[in-house]
Amino acid sequence: MTPKKKKVSLGQRIQRFWRETIGELRKVTWPTSDEAWKMTGIVLVVMAIMAALLGALDFAFSRMISFLVNL
């Protein structure tokens, strides 16, 4: 026979969740302020490059489609 599990209340589950979450957050190696700003800059530059690339592709494909439709 398998032993029955003890019913855990919602309050106990929430409490255990928070305790485990805090424990995991203490293990995190947080970036310094300078590292965070550098990574933010990299993200913004990559976003600008991707926006320009996608905008150019959108423009090119819309021109091709309108050319093909107007034949």
**Cα-based distances in Å from 25 to 16, 32, 35, 49:** 14, 16, 19, 33
What's the pTM value of the predicted model, to 2 decimals? 0.61
Give the separation between CA 16 and CA 12, rounded to whole angstroms.
6
- Tens digit of pLDDT at every position of the chain (71 positions): 566 777 889 999 999 999 999 999 999 999 999 999 999 999 999 999 999 999 999 999 999 999 999 88
